[in-house]
Amino acid sequence: MSSKTTRIARNTLALYFRQIVIMLVSLYAVRVVLETLGAEDYGIYNVVGGVVALFTFLNTALTSATQRFLNFALGQNDLEQARNVYSTSLIIHVLVALLFILFAQTVGLWFFHNWLNIPYERQVAAFVVYQFSIVAAVISILRIPYRATIIAYERMSFFAMLSIAEAVLMLGAIFLLPVIQFDKLMAYAVLVCIIGIVILLIHKVYCNRTFETARFRYCNDRGLFRQLFEFSGWSVFGGIANASRNHGTNILINIFHGVTVNAAMGIATQVNVAVYQFVSNFQTAFRPQIIKSYSAKDYDYFMRLIFRTSKVSFFLLFVFVLPLYINADFVLQIWLNNVPEYAVAFTQLILLSSLVSAIIGPLWMSIQATGDIKKYQLIVSCFLFASLPLSFLILRIGFSPVWVLVIRVGLDILTFIWRILFLRIKIKLPITGFFFEVIVPIFIISGVSSVITVLLHNLFTTDWNRLIMSCIISTVTIGCFVWLFGLNRQEKKMLLKWLNRKHQ
């Protein structure tokens, strides 16, 4: 097995361990927060945070830009350029943080006061939460260059440990809430801010001491600044579209149905985040290699990584999604005790959307590697923006809020089809090869595994037996069919070599 593949496998294991811990902590934390704050305050936190989150698409966009240019420079072994990228990105992120504050305190504040459906007696608390959410968002923006540097250098073990530490601190803050003699909703927002500052400082100290390229110096490379800014700008445009879908529709639900339904959406989102992070971690481990292989002009390896990452990402997520989808009602009941209305349907639909996203992720990485994302972002953003007016229309007519996520899944599928056609031209993606090596195995394995799992699941009479057996059955059937039909000969050989090395 090559050193590149070994590094990816090692990083994936580190990120998987990270996610297992974070998922357990996060799911338990949501239950405690819901019980401590109550459904109304939890819904307020989600919808107010959603207003701020409309602007935090900047995080994802800027992380992608910084990491892309760092990986590209490292792929060419150009340490001088990597230093310039780091320093320039720091300047850009400070400017973006200031711009974010301006918009959040003007446009965002106007929207908060004029459109959000907040109970009168909780408006002061909601305003305090809004202000501290802005601070937390600024902290997360300033953390981006350090986070991108750690990932670009593939130091996933430290990244995993720091993420676990952050999750543990968040859990500690939640346990403090019952003993705090103050408004618990406001106290929670303050504690989240304090934890963010601590994690930012740890990121900064580690990067400055570990990486020679991660030391700020004034850089007057206007060409690089323009490249980073342009790439970030188009990424931000795509982020605006994504935010309008994810958070804008949540605000529409608030306007038409109130904070209780927002609580249901918040729960579904937390479930999806916890599950999807397994795939996100897997793709994070692959991202540097995808960009570096393109930078080094190793196009055969570049294309193999895209195919492999898309296919395996889906299967890794499907192992979790299938039993959770079938047992969503019971799982939410165990987790929350009191399950808000629509939470089950929201959870099931948002999990379907995440399956499509799992396949798409590597395709987006391949576009980032080229550095030319303008046309791609324009078209994809049109699909994403369409979710908002369509959701408004169906809610205005009087349809159930469940249809908001039905629209989301439908648009995800249409966007996926367009991406494939676009990549055929942009990076010469072989559509026939992608169809037979990725799409066909996905359809066969997911279809057969679902039928077998559902049929055997219905043979059991108690909810616990159904949950346990569906987890076992789905894992075994998916694993067997992936080995038989999902992996090609080379991938099987690589997996066996890696397993043998682990047992030696």
What is the per-residue pLDDT across 137-179, written as a single tens digit (0 to 9) for each?
888 888 888 988 888 887 878 888 888 888 889 888 888 888 8
Average pLDDT rounded to a whole number, residues 368-385: 83
Q: Phi and psi of 379, rounded to 5°?
A: -75, -50
Average pLDDT rounded to a whole number, residues 37-64: 67
pLDDT for res 486: 81
Q: What percent of the chain has pLDDT over 90?
A: 8
Of residues 30 and 322, more confidence is placed in 322
pLDDT for res 1: 46
Residue 475 has pLDDT above 70, yes or no: yes
The C-alpha atoms of residue 52 and residue 138 are separated, in whole angstroms, by 10
Average pLDDT rounded to a whole number, residues 427-449: 90
pLDDT for res 504: 52
Of residues 446 and 251, more confidence is placed in 446
Average pLDDT rounded to a whole number, residues 36-50: 72
Answer yes or no: are the C-beta atoms of 192 and 173 closer than 8 Å: yes
Radius of gyration of the chain (CA): 23
Residue 433 has pLDDT above 80, yes or no: yes
Tens of pLDDT, residue by residue over 274-290, are 776 767 766 777 777 88
DSSP string, 91-159: HHHHHHHHHHHHHHTTHHHHHHHHH----GGGHHHHHHHHHHHHHHHHHHHHTHHHHHHHHHTT-HHHH
Mean pLDDT, the chain, whole residue set:
82
At 193, list the tokens. Answer: 């801010």
The C-alpha atoms of residue 457 and residue 451 are separated, in whole angstroms, by 10
Average pLDDT rounded to a whole number, residues 97-108: 87
pLDDT for res 502: 53
Q: What is the DSSP letter of 177?
A: G
Tens of pLDDT, residue by residue over 65-87, are 777 888 888 877 778 888 888 88
**Residue 364: pLDDT band with limits 50, 70, 90:** confident
pLDDT for res 5: 59
